[in-house]
Amino acid sequence: MPLDRLPTVMIEPLVRAALLEDFGRAGDLTSDAIVPADLVVRARLTARRPGVIAGLDIAALAFRLLDEKVALSCEHVDGDRIAPGQIIGIVQGPARAILGAERTALNFLCRLSGIASATASIVEAVRGGKARIVCTRKTTPGLRAVEKYAVRAGGGANHRFGLDDAVLIKDNHIAIAGSVRAAIERARARIGHLVKIEVEVDTLRQLEEVLSVGADAILLDNMTLDQLRQAVIMVAGRAVTEASGRITAETAPAIAATGVDLISAGWLTHSAPALDIGLDF
Amino acid sequence: MPLDRLPTVMIEPLVRAALLEDFGRAGDLTSDAIVPADLVVRARLTARRPGVIAGLDIAALAFRLLDEKVALSCEHVDGDRIAPGQIIGIVQGPARAILGAERTALNFLCRLSGIASATASIVEAVRGGKARIVCTRKTTPGLRAVEKYAVRAGGGANHRFGLDDAVLIKDNHIAIAGSVRAAIERARARIGHLVKIEVEVDTLRQLEEVLSVGADAILLDNMTLDQLRQAVIMVAGRAVTEASGRITAETAPAIAATGVDLISAGWLTHSAPALDIGLDF
Amino acid sequence: MPLDRLPTVMIEPLVRAALLEDFGRAGDLTSDAIVPADLVVRARLTARRPGVIAGLDIAALAFRLLDEKVALSCEHVDGDRIAPGQIIGIVQGPARAILGAERTALNFLCRLSGIASATASIVEAVRGGKARIVCTRKTTPGLRAVEKYAVRAGGGANHRFGLDDAVLIKDNHIAIAGSVRAAIERARARIGHLVKIEVEVDTLRQLEEVLSVGADAILLDNMTLDQLRQAVIMVAGRAVTEASGRITAETAPAIAATGVDLISAGWLTHSAPALDIGLDF
Amino acid sequence: MPLDRLPTVMIEPLVRAALLEDFGRAGDLTSDAIVPADLVVRARLTARRPGVIAGLDIAALAFRLLDEKVALSCEHVDGDRIAPGQIIGIVQGPARAILGAERTALNFLCRLSGIASATASIVEAVRGGKARIVCTRKTTPGLRAVEKYAVRAGGGANHRFGLDDAVLIKDNHIAIAGSVRAAIERARARIGHLVKIEVEVDTLRQLEEVLSVGADAILLDNMTLDQLRQAVIMVAGRAVTEASGRITAETAPAIAATGVDLISAGWLTHSAPALDIGLDF
Amino acid sequence: MPLDRLPTVMIEPLVRAALLEDFGRAGDLTSDAIVPADLVVRARLTARRPGVIAGLDIAALAFRLLDEKVALSCEHVDGDRIAPGQIIGIVQGPARAILGAERTALNFLCRLSGIASATASIVEAVRGGKARIVCTRKTTPGLRAVEKYAVRAGGGANHRFGLDDAVLIKDNHIAIAGSVRAAIERARARIGHLVKIEVEVDTLRQLEEVLSVGADAILLDNMTLDQLRQAVIMVAGRAVTEASGRITAETAPAIAATGVDLISAGWLTHSAPALDIGLDF
Amino acid sequence: MPLDRLPTVMIEPLVRAALLEDFGRAGDLTSDAIVPADLVVRARLTARRPGVIAGLDIAALAFRLLDEKVALSCEHVDGDRIAPGQIIGIVQGPARAILGAERTALNFLCRLSGIASATASIVEAVRGGKARIVCTRKTTPGLRAVEKYAVRAGGGANHRFGLDDAVLIKDNHIAIAGSVRAAIERARARIGHLVKIEVEVDTLRQLEEVLSVGADAILLDNMTLDQLRQAVIMVAGRAVTEASGRITAETAPAIAATGVDLISAGWLTHSAPALDIGLDF
């Protein structure tokens, strides 16, 4: 399943803002002072750790926006698994622009590759089963579109992109509505025909109540493996089942084995360590 | 040493953009459908893990920008160490606005508190010595000012904020200049009188060369403890010494014991896991 | 079913931009020249035609952003049906600010009320049946969120808000995929678990093919009443049915009587005439 | 009289914002899932109704900004009258980009062509006479520059572009000033030498008063044909005369025949139905 | 003739941008380090040179946007003539915010007061005559609205605000059109009824040609006093006459004595020295 | 010492905003009416006064952003000294775009060249000595980066770019801290290792106090030549010395002769007259 590129129009504002954040009001003092304006160089983008790459278009755009004479030619595409020391791409062009955009390009690339790698580690842990790994809305403010893209690059799928593309009924909503049934019915009465409803439950009793009303998906939050197994049996295909809570590459296989459709992990976007990628001249 | 607040004018654009990113074009479908518009509630902001808090002003602004009737009254201030279960603050106001801004507020608060907590863990590991913990430019695109703030909240200090507020001569600059001496001299000839120069060295031989020319600070990159000790002796107070490479709470004490002035760690901003903070009604 | 307000954070950028567009570089030449700065007046917002009102919060914000001393106190709320001559609200404050923001406030209010009124005219035409009236993505560039809101104010429901919140497979997609089945299967394989799929069909044969593969909703485009009736029978509740093409208050009742769930009309947002509302001192 | 293009720098921000509004955070789910990334197609832009075209540069920019490999080659230029079924232009390039930008391009093109067509219908109704058709400030918030351009494309002329490029004294201003004379005199005393003054009058008595003070233009609001005829005689070329109120292609010829210089109609921009233009593969 | 305030909505974006430009990514290092967060002070805004003040609302907004607890209470209003040492206003509030916004507030205030003062110096030089002093489009990029406002504060009037609010036919346009007549006629055929035409001439022969065709205003560029006198006689009130070129307080009275209506000077906005205003604690 | 270009990404937002400010909502009325759309011309950029040029990249970008077919080929580079009548560059392309962008291009070019020329006049006055000429933060709001660049083009050096790239302790800070020593110590305790501290002193007694604590630079404000000489002796190379107050080309040589390292002048950026540069067809 090939990965779809994000159109430039979606990433350009982020990259421009990031370059300006790093250049401030005086620009790259070090390179301007030391590097001749006409020096052209070639540098290798190399992974220092194994992982899955994401963000090459963004990195390329960072270099190109600083100086259109810089080109990044990639040996890999987003979603590729990279071994340490492996060359990801070659940047060629004026040395000043390469040094000036280096940190911006790498800040995007390392973060997004970190997310892709974290996602891939869990995706691989459950390979062979039907469970898909999904992210949450716990993303970095301003970077949701690209972080969700990185999850896809790692082989994961995306949960909601915002408060407005699906209904997710949580404990507080249920408490306010008075019951699971009331919450679901209020939602159903209001939403558009292309909006799905997911309900979060903590107990099998709550699950039962959801099933009696119906929902498109059910988030089984912090359940034991036993509870998950039983939940899957109770749901019996009438809704998508999603398990969440303490998901790691170690815990995921057992959770996947319970038969849930989705395993969601907030840390993929809020806490995945950056992948160490460097630029070597 | 009290922590200085970031003025609202600096954080408001970030918070507005984050709210809009989450609200998209249709707003909070779930709360709009389920929560009465006039319901006023009270919720507790609680840490689920121990850590150091950062970002309370930002969280408060997220709630207030969504609805000025929401108020966050804090029992703590940024920089405070929090135990699991401890209440950080109380949010009070219209339930819809609290639910609508919850994720935006927490995405900032958890990330920044994660950075503050990671910083504090190393700061505490070296407590008693003179070494200060500093961050790098490996920050999230768009969030540098607030992530650097979070490092301060954790007791750390800040390195450069951008390419334009100090000179940092790295291996590539030295290679292009031809020698350490040439690089430093070119920089000195060009920069303003309030700009400092730091030079990155990998070997003691390079260090010697830097010392013969002079620099404000010297980044001792990936050196062994022995090398660091020797470097500190060689520098003899003529420059600020900064150690970097593989810094953790475990390795930091020994590095601090070598006598270096600063210990810098990129992962504080690019890979610190978010602190788990929740909002409970 | 009460109408949910759009949060200020979503409408403020639109209103600021609109005020600046009208004020240009020199401001309100006429009022500045003629109206004393300290004159306070009272003006009535009055409908000149019958219709349904939408956009009062936006109008109020336009006045308030120009001068916080201007207040709009409304006798009605968005979604109310208004008779000609009926007073919608009273604006009170400095005359200059009222005159300066008048056109901006009315441009929003008349357009959105026009959309609400057009929607309501069809909603009323099909009242009593189950069919809901929905809008499309044929909205004014930049105003989608508020125009979709106006549709809700008129009693309608919203279709997709963008290319990214649901799948809508049209003839070109089917042609490219090679068949309805291939198109749906490709979509299903790629999308998230909270994304629904709607398929547009022109013929009952195509409908049959969709039903054999399954879809959440089916857009019956430009079908005759007979075809629609038969389509509803064929679908038999397995998908939401949506009729589109030449929808007016005259044609809608017969279409609704075919049993379709939804009737969609692009003209509600792209061609509804503005409602004539005036501000009288 | 050829039509002048709007420079790209003026339309690009509108087009970028519109594309982002439609792409949201996840992009074009349908085309990404179904359409191969490397598929290149050719599509025809065709009018489905007769009318006058406006907005081709904007449509072309929408395609190009999404993917610079998409080209729109036009068989017509803005201002051309188009028959139903007539091909306006050919779009060629990657299918995904064409499908992704289609709605954005058409939303601009159909709206602007609707305005141009409405304008042209009245322009043609009064052809042969001296009266020119003009628009007002009743434009869509954010789109004033392009909607005024569309009026020109339809053969009309533009009234004020904002509150700041001419003085227009209305009833409220006169009431505040105390008299027509006082209002005009206050304005004259304050404005720059390149600013014209227009005064709105409802009665011939008011007209007389304006004429005794002098003005560059006089807006004869909602007058009968008899009143208009008499007004034109009274003005006797000393000011530009503008008739407004209930202007349609049916009423315009008689109004034009009264001898007024201008006929203004707010509905050209606030209520003209979009022209139905489609993109066929 | 009282001076009209610019609405906050027009100046706020400028002030926010200026504060952010000065605060950069780390804020006010000096005050944060030295000034207690809760220290409240009082400072006097004092002119160090005689002049005319302009920009007090902008200065007040700079302080208020940084901290809403800062208030600027003014003893003067824009347009007032100030003697050296005279107190213009009192700023009261948190010391940090006053020090942090000081430079931003003063950069606006000193520049705009410089423009107002330069304008006033010429206005006073020609006092008693009918000639008005006007500015040009030679303004600082981004500040046109506020610089034109400063000219008004100094007692001057405004020329065009942009390329789009009047026609100004210069030598290049005439050369391209082939003749003065052709240029004026082309303009007249295209422009709206509220747009005036001014023509620039260098010689009396050109002036004659303009008069034979007619224009609203005539710019007499770099003419001698004799030529100006003769030009005024030739025009005989049929157009507004504007003299330009080398205008100073010394040359202006004689130019005014020639009978021209307007004297325009680009240097009022592009080269007026800032007025020295300080903030003293 | 060659001058470093500002990257396009830093200047493009300024140039786009300036073009839009001049084009307003209706564009270049005059050229659109008079100049044929396909007319291509050639114009010379010529200095009318002697000076030093700065801003050629910005001017070129203004033309190119309006129409990519316009090219500015320069005979000079920023920093070059130009004699009156000397051709700086040739602009070639569509006449409309050249006329449309002319004022925007010149407004930047004349202002920045004015700053460069003013700087150069003082730089030349002190040529041969070691004193460098530096600017301040008294820049035009929004233009700090380009105005500081213009100072460099004139041979000057830059002082702080904002409140956040160095500490500058002034009289108010000292008063608040209680003493020079307290102020410096508080600053030192808070700032990063790459941040320098400068202290402003009015008297030699204050200077003594600063020297006893230590500082990177000392601003000797408004001192007599005798005081400056003595100050330089007292400092004895332990800090950078900066003289400020009433700096002109006339006073600078004597000040430079006192041995100070830097001479700073706020007027270079806030009051330097624009350099008169014209565009001739």
Question: pLDDT by residue (tens digit) across E27-72?
Answer: 999 999 999 999 999 999 999 999 999 999 999 999 999 999 999 9
User: Which pair of tokens denotes residue C207?
Assistant: 């409908």
Instruction: Judge contact between A141 and B3, C-beta under 8 A.
Output: no
Same domain flag for F176 and F78: no
The structure tokens 């050369």 sit at E175
pLDDT band of residue E1 (cuts 50, 70, 90) is low
User: Which pair of tokens denotes residue B148?
Assistant: 């650097």
Amino acid at B55: G
Interface of F with E in 150-189 (CB under 8 A): 161-173, 175-177, 183, 186-187, 189
Smallest Cβ distance to B9: which of E26, E32, E66? E66
pLDDT one-digit tens code per residue, A43-77: 999 999 999 999 999 999 999 999 999 999 998 99
Residue in chain D closest to E159 (alpha carbons) equals D192
Residue C33 lies in a domain: yes
For residue F77, report the phi and psi dihedrals to the nearest 5 degrees: -120, 160
Same domain flag for E80 and E16: yes
Q: Which of D9, D149, D163 to mutate to test the interface with F (most CBs of F within 10 A)?
A: D9
Compute the distance between CA of residue D73 and CA of residue D83 in angstroms, rounded to an integer. Answer: 18
Compute the distance between CA of residue F58 and CA of residue A12 in angstroms, rounded to an integer. Answer: 21
Same domain flag for A105 and A177: no
Residue D54 lies in a domain: yes
Angle at E232 (CA atoms; ends E228, E238), nearest 5 degrees: 145
CATH number at residue D174: 3.20.20.70
Q: Flag whether residue E83 sits within 8 Å of chain C, measured between CB atoms.
A: no
Tally of structural domains, chain D: 2
3-class secondary-structure state, position E280: strand
Greatest distance between any 2 Cα atoms in chain A:
72
Residues of A in contact with D37 (CB under 8 A): 2, 4-5
The DSSP 8-state label assigned to residue E185 in this structure reads: H
The DSSP 8-state label assigned to residue C27 in this structure reads: -
Number of B to F CB contacts under 8 A, please give it.
Answer: 63
Compute the distance between CA of residue C200 and CA of residue C207 in angstroms, rounded to an integer. Answer: 9
pLDDT band of residue C1 (cuts 50, 70, 90) is low
Count CB neighbours of A75 within 10 A: 13
Q: Does residue D1 register a pLDDT over 70?
A: no
Residue in chain A closest to E24 (alpha carbons) equals A24
D148 tagged catalytic = no
Q: Does residue E261 register a pLDDT over 80?
A: yes
Amino acid at B24: G
For F175-183, what is the mean pLDDT?
Answer: 96
3-class secondary-structure state, position D75: coil
pLDDT one-digit tens code per residue, A86-125: 999 999 999 999 999 999 999 999 999 999 999 999 999 9
CATH number at residue C21: 3.90.1170.20
For C45-74, what is the mean pLDDT?
Answer: 97
Same domain flag for B132 and B109: no
Residues of E in contact with A21 (CB under 8 A): 25
pLDDT band of residue F86 (cuts 50, 70, 90) is very high
**In angstroms, what is the C-alpha Rg of chain F?**
22
Instruction: Judge contact between B160 and B200, C-beta under 8 A.
Output: no
F102 tagged catalytic = no
Residue E28 lies in a domain: yes
Q: Does residue F57 register a pLDDT over 70?
A: yes
Angle at F90 (CA atoms; ends F86, F96), nearest 5 degrees: 130
Instruction: Judge contact between F94 and F40, C-beta under 8 A.
Output: yes
Candidate list F200, F209, F242, F261, residue with the active-site label: F200
Q: Provide the residue range defining the domain that includes E41.
A: 8-117+273-280
Same domain flag for A140 and A241: yes
CA-based end-to-end distance of chain A: 34
pLDDT band of residue D84 (cuts 50, 70, 90) is very high
Element (H, E) at B232: helix B225-235
Compute the distance between CA of residue E27 and CA of residue E29 in angstroms, rounded to an integer. Answer: 6
Taking the CA of residue B243 and the nearest CA in chain E, the distance in Å comes to 23
Same domain flag for E154 and E264: yes
For C88-106, what is the mean pLDDT?
Answer: 98
Question: CA nearest B206: which of B247, B237, B169, B240?
Answer: B169
Residues contacting A118, CB < 8 A, separation 6+: A154, A267, A268, A272, A273
Compute the distance between CA of residue C103 and CA of residue C98 in angstroms, rounded to an integer. Answer: 9
Residue E59 lies in a domain: yes
Same domain flag for F134 and F103: no
The fraction of chain E above a pLDDT of 70, given in percent, is: 100
Taking the CA of residue C261 and the nearest CA in chain A, the distance in Å comes to 9
pLDDT of residue E2: 74
pLDDT of residue F1: 60
Compute the distance between CA of residue C160 and CA of residue E132 in angstroms, rounded to an integer. Answer: 58
Same domain flag for B179 and B263: yes
Residue D3 lies in a domain: no
Compute the distance between CA of residue A246 and CA of residue A269 in angstroms, rounded to an integer. Answer: 14
Active site amino acids of C: 103, 138, 170, 200, 221
The structure tokens 């987003």 sit at A78
Regions of chain B short of the pLDDT cut 70 = 1
Compute the distance between CA of residue F247 and CA of residue F268 in angstroms, rounded to an integer. Answer: 10
User: Which pair of tokens denotes residue A124?
Assistant: 């691989």
Same domain flag for A188 and A250: yes
Same domain flag for D112 and D193: no
Smallest Cβ distance to C193: which of A194, A195, A261? A261
Question: CA nearest C12: which of C80, C93, C66, C76?
Answer: C66
For E123-151, what is the mean pLDDT?
Answer: 97
* Buried-exposed string A95-120: b where 16+ CB fall within 10 A, e elsewhere: bbbbbbbbbbbbbbbbbbbbbbbbbb
Question: CA nearest F240: which of F219, F210, F209?
Answer: F219
Distances (CA, A) of A43 to A69, C242, E173: 14, 56, 52
pLDDT one-digit tens code per residue, D150-181: 999 999 999 999 999 999 999 999 999 999 99
Same domain flag for D260 and D135: yes
- Are D216 and E195 in contact (CB < 8 Å)? no
Same domain flag for B61 and B153: no
The structure tokens 């249709």 sit at B26
**Sequence-ordered alpha helix ranges (H) in A24-143:** 29-34, 56-66, 95-125
Residue B2 lies in a domain: no
Taking the CA of residue D3 and the nearest CA in chain E, the distance in Å comes to 10
Q: Does residue F246 register a pLDDT over 90?
A: no
Residue B3 lies in a domain: no
Taking the CA of residue D1 and the nearest CA in chain F, the distance in Å comes to 10
The fraction of chain A above a pLDDT of 90, given in percent, is: 98
Interface of B with F in 129-148 (CB under 8 A): 132, 134
Residues of A in contact with C1 (CB under 8 A): 189-190
Compute the distance between CA of residue B277 and CA of residue B52 in angstroms, rounded to an integer. Answer: 11
Residue A1 lies in a domain: no
Compute the distance between CA of residue D192 and CA of residue E132 in angstroms, rounded to an integer. Answer: 10
pLDDT band of residue D146 (cuts 50, 70, 90) is very high
Q: Does residue A1 register a pLDDT over 70?
A: no
ipTM of this complex > 0.85?
yes
